[in-house]
Amino acid sequence: MAVDIVILAAGKGTRMKSALPKVLHELAGKPLLGHVIDTAGGIADSTVTVVVGHGGEAVRAHFDGVPVRWVEQQQQLGTGHAVLQALPLLRPDATTLVLYGDVPLIGAATLDTLVASVAGDCLALLTVELRDPRGYGRILRDDQGRVTGIVEEKDASPDQKRITEVNTGVLAVPAGCMARWLPTIGNDNAQREYYLTDLIAIARRDGLAINTHQPATPEETEGVNSRQQLCQLERHYQRQYAFGLMAAGVTLADADRFDCRGELQAGEDSFIDINCIFEGRVSLGRNVHIGPNCHIRDAVIGDGAVIKANTVIEGPVTLGRNVDVGPFARLRPGTALGENARVGNFVETKKAEIGPGSKINHLSYIGDAGIGSGVNVGAGTITCNYDGVNKFRTLIGDGAFIGSNTSLVAPVTIGANATVGAGSTITRDVPDGELAVARGRQKNVEGWQRPRKPEKE
């Protein structure tokens, strides 16, 4: 069945108190509209049309290159009027599915069920039961439980306002019906707007049945109209993501202090402490331990790795089995650590391949470097990789020992099993097995007197 999906994203979002269009505000690191587009794109044999209005240029620019069609609603005259703008793009032989750019958590399974229940003699409507239905249109049913219409809250009677089954706005309409029905919608209501919900009464008039379905959770259909609502949905999303990880065998110290803003895969018996943020695509092997307050983006981390507190990983980064990183380490793009490598506190790496069993334990910067296996890099070591214009590489062979407070001025190669004395500035290659010492000669001055401040009177 062909499906034409129309996503309504023209609202200003006044209650957000923001210059940013509402649908560009982020949930879990992705714009609200991005969540809806991604879900819609997963429906088979579908096209996606987005109706924009306020901030439309910014919305289009953000999704430049995304395979959707765009139409503009110059005046915000209601949901019916918004879908009318997309009408010329809708195929007469396709089911029309209407979604909302500020309802980010609608599930693919929910939409598949909804679309599958549409036929030539019935349309499908997504409803939800709410304890507090204030602000929502109420579902009206006859004595036999059949849907007869939807009444908006501003137009509802006191009895109708007590109804707890409400309209989500999400509906699927049989092929060809939109073209016939939309032009007949009026605006005889309190808001003087063209309500898409009027399609229900029109369908009944034409003898079509109204099939209703409900989502797995009410949060699937919750919209974002304020920063408070955005915060509430964020926490719901993160909690559900955390529960999914735990069901797969991962331990989280606290599901309410966990944030995934991308995709996270984790192997069994891994542990994630509090206040960790995962962005982009992150893969954790088995028995990985992530300490508190870590920020990890675009990384592949091998089995048994330990990432200690307050470590920042900015990928792409690849960490081998049983590595030990942190605390307070920063691994930047292009870092790769071999098995059992160690990067300790206040160490920064970038474009650095660090071999198995090598150690950079303290207070060092290693950039544009290739380090072999079993290398020890002392505290305060710096690879001087940038001359103000170009960057150069430092190569350190297997088993080398780099003394503390050493500057390695690239391009330079330190041979296998070579030793560099502490405090050296190395500007020439060091052959295999040799000792290099490059520092000023020490001079001791006998009888030297330290200057003293004059005594105050």
In angstroms, what CA-CA distances link 361 with 371, 373, 388? 14, 15, 28
> Is 362 labeled as catalytic in the residue annotation?
yes
Using only the alpha carbons of the chain, give its radius of gyration.
31
Q: What is the DSSP letter of 184?
A: G
Nearest one of 85, 66, 65 to 9, comparing CA atoms:
85
Is 271 in contact with 288 (CB distance < 8 Å)? Answer: yes
- Give me the torsion for CA of 420, 423, 427, 429, rounded to 10°: 0
Nearest one of 9, 42, 28 to 105, comparing CA atoms:
28
Catalytic residue among 54, 62, 236, 362: 362
54 phi and psi angles, rounded to 5 deg: -60, 125
Compute the distance between CA of residue 326 and CA of residue 107 in angstroms, rounded to an integer.
38
Residue 65's CB: how many other CB atoms inside 10 A? 5
**56 is written with which tokens?**
């439309």
Q: In what order do the strands lie in the sheet with 306-307?
A: 251-252, 271-272, 289-290, 306-307, 324-325, 342-345, 359-362, 376-377, 401-402, 419-420, 435-436
Compute the distance between CA of residue 220 and CA of residue 213 in angstroms, rounded to an integer.
13
**390 is written with which tokens?**
């170009």
Which residue is listed with tokens 């110059």? Answer: 74
Is 47 in contact with 5 (CB distance < 8 Å)? Answer: yes
Nearest one of 316, 277, 318, 325 to 298, comparing CA atoms:
316
Nearest one of 305, 311, 329, 300 to 275, comparing CA atoms:
311
Provide the strand spans (E) within 215-257. Answer: 251-252
- Name every residue whose Cβ is closer than 8 Å to that of residue 295 and which is 6 or more positions away in sequence: 276, 277, 279, 311, 312, 313
Report, as residue numbers or ranges, the catalytic residues: 362
